[in-house]
Amino acid sequence: MLPPERLPASGHGRRGPASGSGQAGRRGQPGFPAPPGCGKGPDGRRIAGGILQIDDNRREQRVLAWSIGITTILAAIGIACGLFANSSSILFDGLYSLIDAAMTALALGVSVLLSRGSSRHFQFGFWHLEPMLVLLNSVVLALSCGYAFLGALNDLFRAGRGTDFGPGLLYVVGAGLAEFSLWLAMRRQARRLGSDLIALDARAWLISGLLSIGLGLSFGLGLALHGTEWAGLIPYLDPAILAVMALLLLPVPLAACWRAGKDILEIAPSDLDERVRAIAQGIAERHGFHDFTSYVAKTGRARFVDITFLAGPELGSRPLGYFDGIRGEIAAALEARPPSHWLNIEFTSERRWL
């Protein structure tokens, strides 16, 4: 087995001096098995898995930049059409898109920082910025939905709003087709690159598309009611559909807030915790370790894993390669790939270090 890559310590384990004859391995140094043909270039970056990670970050940045441009154009058209048709719902759709463009620009900045890896002051990288941005984005969108709902109620209580439904219907049909197409494209890219930032942008496109569907239905109904006995309801259609859509969309950013909050608080994801425990249990049984402890955390797309094995005297003296081999087993089982995975695999003969 080739020697493991050495990366900075994740900081998610217990720190203490190495103690006991059974203490093997470099405490705090996460190990990854180097794939065949994998090495490091002059800049110290991995030239196999690392290049793949760098390429993914560059693709993510291109996708986000492309999304910002389209969102800004649609936002400008929406705001202009909303003012022309005197439609508060279209105006909200345009402002919602403008806010989303600003949030996506911040996401692009975070993506650039993530591609740089760690720095002198941020030695564990910039992974923590990803859930913080998701939380900020979600809070802003949730507040936007709340403001739209209150504005719609205000219009309803003031005898509605006179809206020109013809231009509005043309806008929402065209915008809806564009938004759902972009949602599908962004969702595919998010799954391909494993990017929470692009996934967040995809959800925003989905929300915009759903808004357009609601607006299209209300505007079509408004045109159909002209000249009928129900024409008196027409002024109430625009604020009513805006109120309904705001309430229906509100759970989407609130759910994203909850997920981002769990990452920021480093609440251990149950699926990763169970997987790590199962892998560690198998290692302990195969290699005769008496016990183990494991700790996991998730921050954005980064995964932190710390496992400490308790060895008995029967294990005897083993070469470092033996323990590196165990690290390699665990890394392979977790499909861990730097820099988004941090592993601390430690060994001790004293229970106090568990």
Q: Are residues 224 and 132 in the same domain?
A: yes
Using CA atoms, how far apart are residues 186 and 73, in angstroms rounded to an integer?
Answer: 17
Whether residue 5 contacts residue 34, with contact meaning beta carbons closer than 8 Å, is answered with yes
Q: Which residue has the higher pLDDT, 15 or 228?
A: 228
Mean pLDDT of the region 181-187: 91
Could you give the percent of the chain with pLDDT greater than 70?
Answer: 82
In a 13 Å sphere around the CA of 249, the CA atoms on its Cβ side amount to 33
- 151 is written with which tokens? 């504005």
Give yes or no: residues 74 and 192 share one domain.
yes
State whether 178 and 206 are in the same domain: yes
236 or 178, which is more confident: 178
Specify whether 242 is located in the same domain as 291: no
State which amino acid sits at residue 297. A
- Measured CA to CA, the distance from residue 90 to residue 164 in angstroms comes to 11
* Cα torsion angle, 264, 265, 270, 276, sign: positive
How many angstroms separate the CA atoms of 338 and 301, rounded? Answer: 11
What span, in angstroms and rounded, lies between the C-alpha atoms of 8 and 121? 13
Strand partners, 292: 309
Q: Is residue 60 part of a domain?
A: yes
Residue where a domain terminates, one of 264, 280, 297: 264
Mean pLDDT of the chain: 77
The reply to whether 340 and 316 lie within a common domain is yes
Could you tell me the two tokens for 321? 């390669």
The answer to whether residue 341 sits within a structural domain is: yes
User: Given this model, what pLDDT does residue 40 score?
Assistant: 40
Judged by DSSP in three states, 182 sits in helix
Give the range of the structural domain holding residue 88, as residue numbers without chain letter: 56-264
Based on the fold, state whether residues 191 and 229 are members of the same structural domain.
yes
Is residue 44 situated within a structural domain?
no
Handedness of CA 9, 13, 19, 20 (dihedral sign): negative
Of 264, 286, 308, which residue sits at a domain end?
264
Distance CA 341, CA 127 (A): 11
Whether residue 120 is contained in a domain is answered as yes
- Confidence band for 243, pLDDT divided at 50, 70 and 90: confident
282 and 204 within one domain: no
Q: Could you tell me if 246 and 274 lie in one domain?
A: no
Residue 42 has pLDDT above 50, yes or no: no
Letter string b/e over residues 5-41, b meaning 16 or more CB atoms within 10 A of that residue's CB? bebebbebbeeeeeeeebbbbbbbbbbbbbeeebeee
Q: Is 28 in the same domain as 62?
A: no
What percent of the chain stands above pLDDT 90? 16
Answer yes or no: is 92 within a domain. yes
Average pLDDT rounded to a whole number, residues 250-259: 86
The DSSP result for 43-106, as a single string, is TS-BSSHHHHHHHHHHHHHHHHHHHHHHHHHHHHHHHHHHHHHT-HHHHHHHHHHHHHHHHHHH
Q: Are residues 176 and 239 in the same domain?
A: yes
Any idea what the CATH number is for the domain that residue 204 is in? 1.20.1510.10
End position of a domain, from candidates 264, 285, 301: 264
The pair of three-digit structure tokens given for residue 217, joined into one six-digit string: 């239905």
pLDDT, tens digit, 9 for 90 and up, residues 286-318? 999 999 999 998 887 788 899 999 998 888 888
What confidence tier does 321 reach under pLDDT thresholds 50, 70, 90? very high
In a domain, 185, yes or no: yes
Q: Say if 283 falls within a structural domain.
A: yes
The CATH number of the domain holding residue 297 is 3.30.70.1350
With respect to residue 88, please indicate whether it lies within any of the assigned structural domains: yes
Instruction: Return d(Cα 348, Cα 354) in angstroms, integer.
Output: 8
Per the model's pLDDT, the better-predicted residue between 186 and 8 turns out to be: 186
> Does one domain contain both 150 and 287?
no
Q: Supply the pLDDT for residue 39.
A: 40
Q: According to DSSP H, which parts of the chain are helical?
A: 49-85, 88-116, 129-157, 165-193, 196-225, 234-249, 251-264, 270-287, 320-334
Q: For residues 132 and 105, what is the distance between their CA atoms, to the nearest angstrom? A: 14
Asked whether residue 271 falls in the same domain as residue 213, the answer is no
Domains: count for the chain: 2
